[in-house]
Amino acid sequence: MTTPSSPPPDGKHRLELFTEMLRIRRFEERCVRLYGAEQIRGFMHLCVGEEAVAVGVLGALDGEDAVVSTYREHGHALARGVPMVEVLAEMFGRTTGCSAGRGGSMHLFDAERRFYGGNAIVAGGIPIAVGLALADAIRGRARTTACLFGDGAAAEGEFHESLNLAALWRLPIVFCCENNQYAMGTPLRRSHAQTDLALRAASYGLRAWPVDGMDVDAVRDATRLASDTVRGGGGPCFLELRTYRFRAHSMYDADRYRDKAEIAAWRERDPIELLAGVLGRDGLLDDARRTEIEAELDAEIERAVEAADAGPVEQVETLTRFVTSEPS
């Protein structure tokens, strides 16, 4: 399936897309340093290389739409508008975090912005998204639920059950598969007999098509088309967003399963640099302007780090809140 022609974004909007992707990249790079300094602990999964998916998908949704994410969700949360200081405070384990410091890197959550996780369980968010879409369908609300997950989730039972129900009930949901070619350290070709995940989704009766996940314009246009389709009663859609993570699966991963030449080849299609090239040719971005943008982003990140680090930690006497029930 191909997307219909749509008016190209103006220069200002393209620069905003570039800035948001660069913002996520600089944030993730700072998180690496914070992790090394043990200000962030536990598991942490970075989306370096996949910024076009976060910015393209989230930028095509409305504020009333729901978003369900996976454990590689820092970029999704930032693109959704979750304040950076609340994201960092959560990762620092502070009560001022978006999940009150109880979830950490993998469980970012913001009900006000309809950002329902962050989910550490592979494919765990997919049935939750189906439930949200079902609620909207029952109540007749013209909303979209966007569910983001990795290619590894396509091997889980929840994936198949959820796609089947969504198609059967014609739910207003867009399944956004971030196919970065690897489920942790296992390449797609070694775990799936059918590696065309869009084709697999189509077998359940969904409208499904592959998208260049390194091209933010392509991601945004595909998401907008899919969202308009489901919002108009056309049934669920499935986007196979073909992308790549430049860093290891997690901070604990030695990343010995990928050929360095493969990583280098994908880096040639860095979504940030691809858009920077377009902006440069159009006379909208030069080295001086990029340096200025990077300085502004670094200052924002530094302010967020300082504010998040100043947040309080949970008191020992209240650690059982939300964990055990209190006697009535």
pLDDT score at 185: 93
Among residues 237, 244, 207, 206, the alpha carbon closest in space to that of 223 is found at: 237
Distance CA 175, CA 159 (A): 10
Is 104 a domain residue? Answer: yes
Residue 7's pLDDT is what? 52
pLDDT at residue 2 in the model: 40
Question: Residue 34: inside a domain, yes or no?
Answer: yes
For CA atoms 46, 190, 167, 214, give the dihedral sign: positive
**Number of folded domains that form the chain:** 1
Task: Report yes or no: 30 and 305 within 8 Å, Cβ to Cβ.
Answer: yes
In a domain, 204, yes or no: yes
Under 8 Å CB-to-CB from 312, ≥6 apart: which residues?
Answer: 94, 95, 96
Q: How many CB atoms lie within 10 A of CB 164?
A: 15
Beginning with the edge strand found earlier in the chain, give each strand of the sheet holding 207-212 in spatial order.
66-68, 145-150, 173-179, 237-242, 207-212
Domain presence at residue 188: yes
- Nearest to residue 47, comparing CAs of 97, 11, 87, 12? 87
Contact criterion met (CB below 8 Å) for 1 and 207: yes
Does 106 reside within a domain?
yes
Enter the DSSP assignment of 3. Answer: P
CB 246 within 8 A of CB 214: no
Give the pair of three-digit tokens for residue 287.
């080295």
- Check: CB of residue 82 under 8 Å from CB of residue 63: no
163 located within any domain: yes
Residues 157, 220: contact at Cβ < 8 Å? no
Q: Which CATH number goes with the domain that contains 301?
A: 3.40.50.970
DSSP 9: P
Distance between start and end Cα atoms, the chain: 57
Contact predicate 90/98, CB 8 Å: yes
CA distance 111 to 117: 9
CA–CA distance, 29 with 49 (Å, rounded to integer): 12
pLDDT tens series, the chain, 328 aa: 444 445 556 788 999 999 999 999 999 999 999 999 999 999 999 999 999 999 999 999 999 999 999 999 999 999 999 999 999 999 999 999 999 999 999 999 999 999 998 999 999 999 999 999 999 999 999 999 999 999 999 999 999 999 999 999 999 999 999 999 999 999 999 989 999 999 999 999 999 999 999 999 999 999 999 999 999 999 999 999 999 999 999 999 999 999 999 999 999 999 999 999 999 999 999 999 999 999 999 999 999 999 999 999 988 888 888 888 777 6
Question: What pLDDT shows up at residue 8?
Answer: 59
Rounded Cα distance between 95 and 313, Å, is 6
- Structural domain boundaries, residue 132: 13-307
d(CA 284, CA 19) in angstroms, rounded, equals: 12
DSSP state of 111: G
- Check residue 134 and give its pLDDT: 98
> How much is the pLDDT for 328?
64
The answer to whether position 261 is within a domain reads yes
What is the distance between the alpha carbons of residues 152 and 122, in angstroms, rounded to a whole number?
7
Q: Is residue 3 part of a domain?
A: no
Looking at residue 53, its pLDDT comes to 98
What pLDDT sits at residue 4?
A: 41
- Residue 230 pLDDT: 96
Between the alpha carbon of residue 23 and those of residues 40, 147, 298, the distances in Å are 19, 22, 8
Joined together, the tokens standing for residue 240 give 């196979």
Please give the sequence-ordered ranges of beta strands (E in DSSP) within 167-306, or none if there are none. 173-179, 182-183, 186-187, 207-212, 237-242
pLDDT of residue 3: 44
